Amino acid sequence: MFNSDSGKNSHNKKKFQKINLGIRQTVLERARYRCQGCSIKFNTQDTPFFSHINGSLKDNRPANLKALCKECYTKTGEHKIKDNIVGKIRSLIRRVI
């Protein structure tokens, strides 16, 4: 499956600049694999979305992230700030699945 976190960058010295697999795991486990907006349970095929609590897209510490389903994430409006390409790829993937 396509993964935007390529293994190449996993040893990046710039800490928490990207939401890597470990951060995703931490946030998802803390949320008990449920959307922190509507409490829907994520399916294994679902791509959870991550919202930045303090509004800073560069602050990717687990403490600053909320796991959200697509609907709740869309409501945050954060997807409009982020790179559109990422969103397009994500929605494409979701359609394929």
* Cβ distance to Zn ion smaller for residue 10 or 29: 29
Beta strand ranges found along 5-97 (DSSP E)? 49-52, 65-68
Query: Which three-class secondary structure state does DSSP give residue 51?
Result: strand
At CB < 8 A and 24+ separation, what contacts does 4-12 make?
Answer: 4/86, 4/89
| Segment interacting with Zn ion (CB under 5 A) among 6-14, 28-36, 46-54, 56-64 | 28-36
* 35 contributes a contact to Zn ion by CB under 5 A: yes
* 38 contributes a contact to Zn ion by CB under 5 A: yes
* 72 contributes a contact to Zn ion by CB under 5 A: yes
Q: Tell me how far apart the 2 most distant CA atoms of the chain are, in Å.
A: 35
* 37 contributes a contact to Zn ion by CB under 5 A: yes
Residues at the interface with Zn ion (CB under 5 A) = 35, 37-38, 69, 72
